[in-house]
Amino acid sequence: MSDQELLYTMALTMALRQQSKHQRTLLNELGSATAVYENRRDLGRMFEHFSEHFADALSAMDALLPRCEDEVAYAHNHHIRILCIQDQENYPTRLAQCEDAPLVIYTLGNMELNAEHIVSIVGTRRCTERGRELCEGLVKELAAQCPGTLIVSGLAYGIDVAAHRAALAKGLPTVGVLAHGMDEIYPRTHRSVAIEMLKQGGLATEFMSHTAIDRLNFLQRNRIVAGMADAIVVVESPVKGGALNTARLAGDYHREVFAFPGRPTDTTSVGCNMLIRKNAATLLTAATDLLKDMGWQQEEKGAGTEEAGQKTLFLELSSEEQAAIDALASSDGELTTADLAAALNIAIHKLTPLMLSLELKGVIKLLPGGRCHLMIRA
- For 218-249, the pLDDT digits (tens) are 999 999 999 999 999 999 999 998 999 999 99
Average model confidence (pLDDT) across the chain: 88
Non-local (6+) Cβ contacts of 235 within 8 A are 121, 122, 123, 127, 131, 134, 135, 138, 159, 163, 259, 260, 272
| 118 secondary structure, DSSP code | E
3-109: in CATH 3.40.50.450: yes
Q: β-strand 174-177 against 201-205: which pairing, if any?
A: parallel
Find the DSSP H helices in 117-158. Answer: 129-145
The predicted-structure confidence for 84-135, as pLDDT tens digits, reads as follows 999 988 999 999 999 999 999 999 999 999 999 999 999 999 999 999 999 9
CA distances from residue 338 to 20, 253, 348 in whole angstroms, order as listed: 25, 17, 7
Domain limits of the chain? 3-109, 118-294, 302-374
Cα 253 from Cα 235, distance rounded (Å): 20
The predicted-structure confidence for 301-359, as pLDDT tens digits, reads as follows 444 434 444 444 446 788 888 899 989 988 888 888 888 888 898 877 778 788 878 88
- CATH topology assigned to domain 302-374: Arc Repressor Mutant, subunit A (1.10.10)
Q: Are residues 115 and 148 in contact, defined by beta-carbon separation less than 8 angstroms?
A: yes
Domains 118-294 and 302-374 equal at CATH topology level: no
Find the DSSP H helices in the chain. Answer: 3-15, 20-30, 33-38, 43-46, 52-59, 65-77, 93-96, 129-145, 159-170, 191-197, 215-227, 242-252, 270-277, 287-294, 298-301, 306-311, 319-329, 337-344, 348-360
Domain 118-294 maps to which CATH number in 3.40.50.450, 3.40.50.10860, 3.20.20.190, 1.10.10.10? 3.40.50.450
Taking CA 158 as the corner, what is the angle to CA 147 and CA 148, rounded to the nearest 5 degrees? 10
With cut-offs at 50, 70 and 90, classify the pLDDT of residue 1.
confident
